[in-house]
C-alpha cells in the first residue's frame, strides 16, 4: 500500500456543501433500497423483529463479493424455499441445501471469485455459514442480544466475536448490517431508540473512497501500489475509513446516509473507467431510475464542487 496526496483538496466550505449533498442523496435512496428487500417479504416475516433481524443477516452473508441486487433477490428466494425453518430448523435446511441448486444462476458473484470457485460452491459456503451460525445461536434471540448493546459499535463487536461471522463478513458488511437493524430511519430498530444516528460507523467501500478522493474531501489517498502497475491507483477503502469518517463527522451527524449517498453517486455518476461520466451532462439522464427521486438536473450533483481528481478508482 502507498499513501499519496489526493491532488486538489476541497476548502472547508466546499467540504460542508459536498457532505450535505451526499447526506441528502443517501437520506432518500438508502431507505428505498432497504425497502426493496423488506417489501418483497411475507408480512409474517416483516412483522417479527427477530425473524427479520436474522433474514437481513442472511442477506448480508450473501452480499459479500456478489452483485447486491442478485444477492438480495436470492435471499428472498431462499426464504421462499425454506420459510421459517431457516431460523428454527437450520440443521434440517443445511441437510437439504441441494434444494437451492436452482437458484445458482440468479446469484451473481464477482469474476475474481468465479475463477477460484464455482458460483454454486460460493453460494453453498455463504448459505451454509449462515445456517451454521443459526445452529450456534440455538435458542438465543439475536435481535435481543444485539439490542442490549449500548452502541452500534458494541453490537458490531458482539457479532464479530463469533469466529464464523468474522470469517465470512467483512467489517464494512457488519457495519452496514448493524445500520439496517438499528438506524432510526432504516429497517427495524433492535435498540428501541437507544442508538442515536450519530453513533454509527460508516461501512466505506471503494466507491465511497473514490468519491471522497475525487472531490478532495480527504487530503490523502491510500492505494494499492506505486505508479506502473494496472491497479496502482485502486483505493484501499478499509484503510481510508478513519479519515473518511473524520471528515464526515465534522460536517454531518448521519454518516450512514453520507456513506450511501457517496456510494450511489460513485456507482451511477462517477464510473471507474471514466466512460459515461455525468459531470456536466449525464448520458443516462433520460433512463436513470434515481434521477427524479433526488432532484437531479441531468448532471452530477457534485459538479460545482468536485476537484476532478479522476486518477483514483474503486476497483
Q: Tell me which of 45-49, 249-253, 263-267, 284-288 is least confident.
A: 284-288
Using the predicted structure, report yes or no on whether residue 116 has a pLDDT greater than 70: no
What is the model's pLDDT at position 293? 93
Partnered with residue 66 across adjacent β-strands are 109
- Residue 58 CA to chain centroid, in angstroms? 14
pLDDT at 191 over 90: yes
Q: How many helices (H) and strands (E) does the chain have?
A: 16, 2
Residue 64 has a pLDDT of: 79
69-110 pLDDT tens trace: 888 899 999 999 999 999 999 999 999 999 998 888 888 877
- Nearest in space to 274 (alpha carbons), one of 221, 229, 230, 312: 312
How far, in Å, CA of 107 to CA of 105, rounded? 6
Which of 27, 7, 21 minimizes the C-alpha distance to 300?
21
pLDDT score of 211: 98
Question: So what's the pLDDT on residue 113?
Answer: 61
For residues 272, 312, 257, 277, the Cα torsion angle rounded to the nearest 10 degrees is -40
Mean pLDDT of the chain: 93
Better pLDDT: 120 or 258: 258
Mean pLDDT of 268-279: 93
Looking at residues 176-180, what average pLDDT do you find? 96
Q: Is 51 exposed, middle or buried (0-12, 13-18, 19+ CB in 10 A)?
A: buried
Candidate from 38-52, 99-113, 175-189, 290-304 with smallest mean pLDDT: 99-113
Q: Give every CB contact of residue 47 below 8 A, 6+ residues apart in sequence.
A: none
Render the chain in DSSP notation, one character per residue. Answer: -EEEE-SSPPPHHHHHHHHHHHHHHHHHHHHHHHHHHHTTS-HHHHT-HHHHHHHHHHHHHHTTTB-HHHHHHHHHHHHHHHTTHHHH-HHHHHHTGGGGGGGTTT--B-HHHHTTS-HHHHHHHHHHHHHHHHHHHTT--HHHHHHTSSSHHHHHHHHHTSHHHHHHS-HHHHHHHHHHHH-TTSS--TTTT-S-GGG------HHHHHHHHHTTSSSEEEESSSBTBTTTTBB-HHHHHHHHHHHHHHH-S-HHHHHHHHHHHHHHTS-TT-TT--SS--TTTTT-SSHHHHT--SS-TTTTT----TT-B--
Q: What is the pLDDT of residue 227?
A: 86
Is 3 in a helix, a strand, or coil?
Answer: strand
> Model-level pTM?
0.93
pLDDT of residue 133: 96
pLDDT bin (cut points 50, 70, 90) of residue 7 is very high
Q: How far apart are CA 132 and CA 74, in angstroms?
A: 18
The torsion defined by the Cα of 289, 294, 295 and 298, in degrees rounded to 10, comes to -50
Average pLDDT over residues 204-215: 97
Amino acid at each position: 500500500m502507498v499513501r499519496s496526496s489526493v491532488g486538489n483538496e476541497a476548502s472547508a466550505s466546499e467540504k460542508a456543501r459536498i457532505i450535505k449533498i451526499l447526506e441528502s442523496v443517501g437520506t432518500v435512496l438508502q431507505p428505498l433500497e432497504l425497502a426493496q428487500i423488506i417489501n418483497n417479504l411475507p408480512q409474517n416475516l416483516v412483522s417479527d423483529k427477530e425473524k427479520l433481524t436474522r433474514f437481513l443477516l442472511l442477506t448480508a452473508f450473501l452480499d459479500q463479493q456478489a452483485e447486491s441486487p442478485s444477492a438480495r433477490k436470492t435471499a428472498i428466494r431462499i426464504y421462499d424455499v425454506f420459510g421459517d425453518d431457516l431460523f428454527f430448523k437450520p440443521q434440517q435446511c443445511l441437510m437439504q441445501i441441494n434444494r437451492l441448486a436452482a437458484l445458482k444462476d440468479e446469484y451473481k458473484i464477482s469474476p475474481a471469485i468465479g475463477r477460484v470457485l464455482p458460483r454454486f460452491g460460493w453460494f453453498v459456503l455463504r448459505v451454509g455459514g449462515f445456517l451454521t451460525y443459526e445452529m450456534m445461536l440455538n435458542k438465543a434471540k439475536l435481535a435481543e442480544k444485539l439490542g442490549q448493546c449500548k452502541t452500534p459499535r458494541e453490537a458490531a463487536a458482539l457479532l464479530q466475536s463469533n469466529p464464523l461471522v468474522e470469517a465470512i463478513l467483512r467489517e464494512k458488511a457488519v457495519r452496514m448490517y448493524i445500520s439496517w437493524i438499528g438506524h432510526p430511519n432504516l429497517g427495524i430498530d433492535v435498540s428501541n431508540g437507544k442508538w442515536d444516528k450519530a453513533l454509527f460507523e460508516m461501512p466505506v467501500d471503494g466507491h465511497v473512497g473514490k468519491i471522497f478522493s475525487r472531490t478532495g474531501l480527504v487530503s490523502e489517498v491510500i492505494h494499492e501500489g506505486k505508479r506502473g502497475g494496472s491497479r496502482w491507483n485502486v483505493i484501499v477503502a478499509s484503510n481510508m475509513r478513519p479519515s473518511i469518517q473524520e471528515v464526515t463527522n465534522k460536517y454531518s451527524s448521519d454518516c450512514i446516509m453520507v456513506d450511501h449517498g457517496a456510494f450511489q453517486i460513485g456507482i451511477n455518476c462517477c464510473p471507474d473507467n471514466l466512460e459515461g461520466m455525468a459531470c456536466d451532462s449525464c448520458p443516462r439522464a433520460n433512463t436513470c431510475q434515481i434521477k427524479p427521486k433526488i432532484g437531479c438536473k441531468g448532471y452530477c450533483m457534485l459538479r460545482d464542487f468536485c476537484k476532478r481528481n479522476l486518477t483514483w478508482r474503486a476497483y
